[in-house]
């Protein structure tokens, strides 16, 4: 066996062991109960900031769940960039139906290159409460969602509460790939990084922050030209403010019904670039071990022997079973047998996206071609990196419907 072939097969085995350790950490995390804090039981007012862009899968049902979370003092702010966005009509109907909980807020200006942060700047100005929960439009949550966030903030040393992600609802192969990856890779990685290395990976699908902490960091305006604003805010929370990030025990659920395989691939081509610029090359290369089947296959192709291909089969089968195990733990719905072969396609596409992320520094995002600089800062491809601007004081345009 050649040195290169042996090295690749050995790397695949190392990755498989790391995945097994990761699975154990996910199981432990889900079973643990938090230690009581003296201030536990306090229920602060919570503003849920929910930026909308287009009509996500099952958007109406997603919003309906947030209208009845069983928490005594909260509001849901639905952010829309402009009235021509298809999400506007859905948000308007939601506010009409649940005026006691929901408000519709139209974006003011366009201060930065990150469209989600542009909405958050306006939504934060409109928020009535001092605990902010950033929640994507394509998520649903488990019972006690806001109570667990409130429990986290009972400890004054906590600056951020984030959640692992499960995926539900898939009706197409592309959505199955999406939900599989979010659970088996993204959520498992968040949990394992925190538990094993004390590393904070904050996921913007659900992240809770105090108003005073965000303002101490310069507000959302400080990340207006950052692509991975969630990751950066999480890093700043510990490095600049000395506060802790808590990973909640209960996942939130990504609702993906009808995505195409091509949509899945494009998304993770973009996120490969983002992740590389977030964590740096050594960590990015090390994380490639967590997709061991392509590495094993490359090793076998360099020295095509029966034992080598037997190793590929073993690595591939073990990886698929572990992915499905994590997928099952982090969701409410049963898992179809189709998830096992889907892991093979998912890992092949993710390997291609990972390879692209090694070399590419540009992304296509919502019709814009952008260059991703270190720290995931954004710049238009045609122009130099944008200079910092002074935050405007314009207030949000807010539509209060039915009361």
pLDDT of residue 180: 94
Q: What is the pLDDT of residue 37?
A: 53
Minimal CA–CA distance to 316: which of 349, 352, 351, 340? 340
Report yes or no: 332 and 251 within 8 Å, Cβ to Cβ: no
- Per-residue pLDDT, 36: 56
Kindly state the tokens that stand for 382. Answer: 């045609």
Where in the chain are the domains?
A: 1-386
**Residue 3 class from Cβ within 10 Å (0-12 exposed, 13-18 middle, 19+ buried)?**
exposed
Rounded alpha-carbon distances, angstroms, from residue 376 to 30, 272, 285, 362:
31, 11, 17, 11
Amino acid 41: pLDDT: 65
pTM (whole model) above 0.75: yes
Q: How far apart are CA 259 and CA 346, in angstroms?
A: 14
pLDDT of residue 239: 94
Superfamily holding 1-386: Spore Coat Polysaccharide Biosynthesis Protein SpsA; Chain A (3.90.550.10)
pLDDT given at position 182: 93
**What is the arrangement of strands in the sheet containing 165-168, beginning at the earlier edge strand?**
139-140, 252-255, 165-168
Cα separation of 80 and 51, whole Å? Answer: 6
Taking a C-beta distance cutoff of 8 angstroms, is the pair 364, 280 a contact?
Answer: no
Identify the residue whose tokens are 């892991």. 343
Is the four-CA dihedral 270, 16, 257, 329 of positive or negative sign? Answer: negative
What is the pLDDT, as a whole number, of residue 34? Answer: 61
Locate 197 and state its tokens.
Answer: 């290395």
Report mean pLDDT in 10-residue bins for the chain, 403 residues. Answer: 90 96 94 62 90 91 94 96 95 96 95 93 96 95 93 93 93 94 92 90 91 96 92 94 94 93 93 87 92 95 93 96 94 84 95 94 78 85 52 43 35
- Cβ neighbours around 18 below 10 Å, total: 17
Q: Minimal CA–CA distance to 62: which of 47, 78, 75?
A: 78
- Backbone phi, then psi, for 131, in 5-degree steps? -110, 125
DSSP assignments along 357-376, one per residue: HHH--EEEETTEEEEEEGGG
Q: What is the Cα gyration radius of the chain?
A: 21
């Amino acid at each position: 066996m050649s040195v290169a072939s042996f090295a690749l097969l050995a790397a695949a085995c190392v990755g498989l062991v790391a995945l097994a350790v990761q699975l154990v950490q996910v199981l432990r995390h889900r079973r643990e109960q938090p230690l009581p804090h003296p201030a536990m039981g306090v229920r602060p007012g919570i503003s849920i900031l929910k930026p909308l862009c287009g009509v996500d899968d099952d958007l109406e049902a997603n919003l309906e769940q947030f209208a009845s979370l069983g928490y005594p003092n909260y509001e849901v702010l639905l952010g829309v960039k402009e009235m021509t966005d298809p999400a506007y009509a859905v948000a308007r109907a939601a506010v009409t139906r649940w005026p006691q909980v929901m408000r519709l807020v139209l974006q003011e200006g366009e201060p930065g290159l990150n469209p989600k942060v542009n909405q958050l700047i306006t939504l934060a100005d409109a928020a009535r409460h001092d605990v902010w929960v950033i929640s994507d439009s394509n998520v649903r949550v488990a019972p006690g969602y806001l109570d667990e966030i409130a429990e986290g903030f009972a400890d004054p040393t906590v600056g951020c509460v984030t959640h692992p992600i499960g995926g539900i609802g898939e009706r197409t192969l592309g959505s199955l790939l999406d939900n599989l990856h979010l659970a088996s890779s993204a959520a498992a990685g968040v949990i394992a990084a925190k538990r094993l290395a004390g590393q904070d990976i904050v996921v913007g699908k659900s992240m809770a922050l105090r108003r005073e902490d965000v303002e101490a960091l310069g507000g959302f305006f400080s990340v207006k030209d950052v692509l991975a604003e969630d990751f950066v805010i999480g890093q700043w929370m510990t490095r600049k403010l000395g506060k802790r990030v808590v990973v909640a025990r209960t996942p939130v659920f990504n609702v993906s019904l009808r995505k195409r395989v091509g949509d899945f691939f494009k998304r993770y081509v973009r996120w490969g670039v983002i992740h590389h610029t977030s964590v740096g090359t050594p960590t990015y290369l090390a994380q490639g071990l967590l997709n061991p089947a392509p590495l094993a296959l490359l090793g076998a192709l360099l020295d095509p022997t029966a034992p080598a291909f037997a190793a590929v089969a073993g690595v591939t089968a073990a990886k698929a079973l572990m992915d499905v195990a994590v997928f099952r733990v982090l969701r409410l719905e049963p898992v179809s047998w189709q998830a096992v072969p889907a892991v093979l396609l998912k890992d092949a596409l993710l390997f291609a996206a990972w390879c692209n992320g090694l070399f590419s520094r540009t992304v296509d995002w919502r019709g814009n071609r952008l260059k991703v600089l270190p720290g995931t800062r954004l710049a238009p491809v045609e122009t130099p990196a944008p200079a910092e601007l002074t935050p405007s004081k314009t207030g949000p345009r807010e539509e209060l419907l039915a009361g």
